[in-house]
Amino acid sequence: MIELEGLTKRFGAKTAVDNLSFQVRPGVVTGFLGPNGAGKSTTMRMMLDLDNPTSGTVRIDGKHYRDLPEPLKYIGALLDAKAMNGGRSAYNNLLCLAQSNRIPERRVSEVLDLVGLTAVARKKSKGFSLGMGQRLGIASALLGDPEILMFDEPVNGLDPEGILWIRNLMKGLAAEGRTIFVSSHLMSEMALTADHLVVIGQGRLLADLSMADFIQQNSRSFVRLRSPQQERLKDVLHGAGIDAISVPATGALEIDGVGPERLGELAAEHRIVLHELSPQRASLEEAFMRMTADSVEYHAHAPGAALPGGPVAPGAATDNPARPADVPAWGAGFDATRKGGE
Ligand SMILES: Nc1ncnc2c1ncn2[C@@H]1O[C@H](COP(=O)(O)OP(=O)(O)OP(=O)(O)O)[C@@H](O)[C@H]1O
């Protein structure tokens, strides 16, 4: 269990983390969500005593990080996969860490096997692809077999296979009863991974709720209707006590709370031609963007984009982030034996 109370961090005039209080519980994956610059990394660094809070506290199983007798056995973290010594082999990177934390050497081989890096254990880590580096960082987090694991944007830049592997690893670790805390700026990714969500914007807590509640509150279902006799259709709907919202961007009507069957029958009764009658579900990504819209630091304004408060564009709740084209695939040239419940 991780407990934050009134955690605040100021860098000069900038308040990066603003009076954050929440708990991260065992047995579930907790997603830590916020747009770029929201304060996720700063919060995680304070959890690991890498930054001093301006005020407030973090407790790991009731203790300050610095008071944990052998911290790697309590909490493991992937903050920056590039933090390894590139001149050392994967094995030696982990061995140094194990020796300085009184962790038995056999654990090094175990975690290398767990993350599928056994075949490249003796290779210098500076030659590793992004995905392999990410796996090595995860191996170091797992080294002390800790009950609490923290991952800062672990899927950034990975291909779909790498994303799936990390997702399943986190779920498997949570199913073992561990506390898993993972940051992301992608709601669509968290929708597939997290059981619980903590959302921040400009360092402040915006939401702390179960994924199921977030979906229930935000995945609006509606029916989209399009007709060449739109005004007549509106009148007919109005006459039947049904509110329709005109969406200029799509030229369609959107109706909440009435099924497509009833709407189709009404149109047929009044001999109104329909060009579209489709059930829709709002995307969770857009709900998240609306939630954090006021706290986004860097806005890019696309023509016609009117997210905050505007109509909810429909889309799948489970869209996957696309992999940048220049990112190497998992498994190229190394043993990608997968463990962890995949
Ligand atoms: N050492 C520092 N000195 C000054 N400002 C900082 C420092 N570290 C972070 N910040 C600022 O604090 C804010 C929060 O940054 P942080 O990296 O914690 O956000 P984040 O949510 O992890 O963002 P991202 O998703 O982009 O990594 C940002 O405005 C950032 O510029």
261 and 132, same structural domain?
Answer: no
The residue nearest atom 18 of ligand 1, judged by CA position, is 39
267 and 156, same structural domain?
Answer: no
40 CA distance to ligand 1 middle (Å): 8
265 and 209, same structural domain?
Answer: no
Cα–Cα distance for residue pair 111/93, rounded to 1 Å: 12
pLDDT value of residue 281: 79
Q: How far is CA 86 from the centre of its chain?
A: 28
137 and 234, same structural domain?
Answer: no
Verdict on whether the full-model pTM lies above 0.80: no
Element (H, E) at 155: none
- Is the pLDDT at 68 greater than 50? The verdict is yes
Cα–Cα distance for residue pair 300/230, rounded to 1 Å: 34
pLDDT value of residue 258: 93
Cα–Cα distance for residue pair 126/124, rounded to 1 Å: 6
Q: Is residue 342 part of a domain?
A: no
191 and 248, same structural domain?
Answer: no
125 and 57, same structural domain?
Answer: yes
Q: Is residue 316 part of a domain?
A: no
Give the tens place of pLDDT for each residue, 71-93: 888 999 998 766 677 778 889 99
Q: Are 180 and 174 in contact (CB under 8 A)?
A: yes
Q: Is residue 255 part of a domain?
A: yes
The residue nearest atom 10 of ligand 1, judged by CA position, is 16
234 and 174, same structural domain?
Answer: no
- Which CATH number fits the domain that encloses residue 248? 3.30.70
Give the tens place of pLDDT for each residue, 182-219: 998 888 888 889 999 999 999 999 999 998 888 877 77
pLDDT value of residue 188: 83
- Tokens linked to 93: 């990177």
Give the tens place of pLDDT for each residue, 280-310: 877 777 778 877 877 665 555 444 433 333 3
203 and 249, same structural domain?
Answer: no
Provide the domain count of the chain: 2
Segment 2-13 mean pLDDT: 96
Q: Are 76 and 144 in contact (CB under 8 A)?
A: yes
Give the tens place of pLDDT for each residue, 145-157: 999 999 998 887 6
Q: Is residue 22 part of a domain?
A: yes
ipTM of predicted complex? 0.96
Give the amino acid at 152.
Answer: D
- Which CATH number fits the domain that encloses residue 169? 3.40.50.300
176 and 263, same structural domain?
Answer: no
139 CA distance to ligand 1 middle (Å): 26
- Domain containing 107 equals 2-216
> What percent of the chain stands above pLDDT 90?
55
Q: Is residue 302 part of a domain?
A: no
57 and 80, same structural domain?
Answer: yes
* Mean model confidence pLDDT for the chain: 83
Rg over alpha carbons for the chain, rounded to the nearest Å, is 24
Q: Is residue 131 part of a domain?
A: yes
pLDDT value of residue 290: 78
8 CA distance to ligand 1 middle (Å): 13
Single out the residue in 183, 201, 216 at which a domain terminates: 216
pLDDT value of residue 312: 32
Residue 40 in contact with ligand 1 by CB distance below 6 A? yes
Burial of 28 (0-12, 13-18, 19+ CB in 10 A): buried
50 and 101, same structural domain?
Answer: yes
Q: Is residue 276 part of a domain?
A: yes
260 and 115, same structural domain?
Answer: no
Single out the residue in 192, 216, 240 at which a domain terminates: 216
Single out the residue in 232, 262, 281 at which a domain terminates: 281
Q: Is residue 145 part of a domain?
A: yes
- Is the pLDDT at 342 greater than 70? The verdict is no
Cα–Cα distance for residue pair 330/190, rounded to 1 Å: 21
The residue nearest atom 6 of ligand 1, judged by CA position, is 11
Ligand 1 atom index nearest CA of 45:
18
Residue 331 in contact with ligand 1 by CB distance below 6 A? no
15 CA distance to ligand 1 middle (Å): 10
In a 3-state reduction of DSSP, which class is residue 5?
strand
pLDDT value of residue 307: 38
pLDDT value of residue 297: 59
